[in-house]
């Protein structure tokens, strides 16, 4: 019997992530080249997601230093706010996400968000409607490891007080999260939504051959909560 569901956040609870113009504006505020800014974000993703770049201002300063720029504190603060707004704009919630989570919660199923992320998501998620319907949030930058490390799944199961065998994991497959979840004992399900394919992701697992769904709306039925909330 399934007692809990862990959801990846980006590209799963959100629509396909695509970088918008906010990144260029952030680079301009910091006084760095926009193309170099995107390159350093890609290059440092893993370390940032493990929490290795510290707080948001310290992390932004370190990225700029690596690009040979020394921004002022005022620039860093403006850039941090832009970064938060940009990440939200790049990854809006799927229209069905809240209804799916409401249905699961109404059925007594515990819910966790398990995400690889930098400083943004711990600040953004509490401001979203999801904050009222989840039981736990596991952020890689706080755990000190990214998926597929077992610590991410162990932390989620501990916070949900659930045995891995009683837990589903739903994600698009970034960070090889599905393989990691299955290895830890969760039932892993890939979301292959129509908008996914050219989305921003890191360490995808295109070779996944396990269960899959094309919409989050299929998840409640998998655990017996058949009525979706409108």
Burial of 181 (0-12, 13-18, 19+ CB in 10 A): buried
pLDDT band at 198 (very low <50, low <70, confident <90, very high): confident
Query: What is the pLDDT at residue 224?
Result: 77
Spatial distance between the Cα atoms of 14 and 94, rounded to a whole number of angstroms: 5
**Percent of the chain having pLDDT more than 70?**
97
Q: How many CB atoms lie within 10 A of CB 135?
A: 16
228: pLDDT strictly greater than 60 = no
* Residues in CB range of 149: below 8 A, 6 or more apart: 143, 180
pLDDT band at 226 (very low <50, low <70, confident <90, very high): low
Q: Which two tokens stand for residue 166?
A: 């009683």
CA-based nearest residue to 1, from 216, 162, 213: 162
Q: How many CA atoms lie within 13 A of 203 on its CB side?
A: 16
Residues of the chain with CATH 3.40.50.1000: 4-17+91-222
111: pLDDT strictly greater than 70 = yes
- Using one digit for the tens of pLDDT, what is the confidence trace for 125-150? 999 999 999 999 999 999 999 999 99
Mean per-residue pLDDT over the chain, rounded: 95
Q: What is 4-17+91-222's CATH number?
A: 3.40.50.1000
**Percent of the chain having pLDDT more than 90?**
93
| Residue 86 near residue 117 (C-beta atoms within 8 A) | no
Q: What is the mean pLDDT of residues 178-203?
A: 96
Q: What is the mean pLDDT of residues 163-177?
A: 97
Is omega for the bond preceding 162 within 30 degrees of 0, making it cis? no
What's the chain's length in residues? Answer: 230
């Amino acid at each position: 019997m399934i007692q809990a569901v862990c959801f990846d956040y980006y590209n799963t609870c959100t629509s396909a992530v695509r970088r918008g113009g906010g990144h260029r504006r952030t680079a301009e505020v910091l006084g760095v080249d926009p193309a170099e800014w995107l390159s350093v974000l890609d290059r440092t993703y893993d370390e940032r997601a493990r929490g290795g770049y510290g707080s948001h201002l310290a992390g932004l300063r370190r990225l700029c230093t690596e690009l040979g720029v020394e921004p002022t504190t005022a620039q860093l603060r403006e850039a941090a706010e832009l970064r938060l707004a940009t990440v939200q704009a790049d990854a809006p919630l799927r229209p069905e996400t809240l209804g799916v989570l409401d249905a699961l919660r109404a059925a007594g199923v515990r819910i966790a968000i398990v995400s690889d992320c930098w400083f943004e998501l711990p600040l953004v998620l509490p401001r979203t409607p999801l904050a009222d319907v989840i039981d736990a949030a596991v952020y890689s930058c706080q755990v000190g490891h990214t998926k597929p490390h077992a610590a991410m799944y162990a932390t989620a199961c501990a916070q949900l007080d659930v045995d891995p065998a009683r837990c589903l994991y739903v994600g698009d497959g970034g960070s090889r999260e599905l393989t990691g979840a299955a290895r830890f004992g969760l039932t892993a399900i890939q979301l292959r939504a129509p908008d996914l394919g050219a989305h921003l992701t890191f360490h995808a697992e295109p070779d996944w051959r396990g269960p899959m769904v094309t919409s989050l709306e299929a998840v409640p039925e998998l655990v017996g909560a058949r009525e979706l909330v409108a």
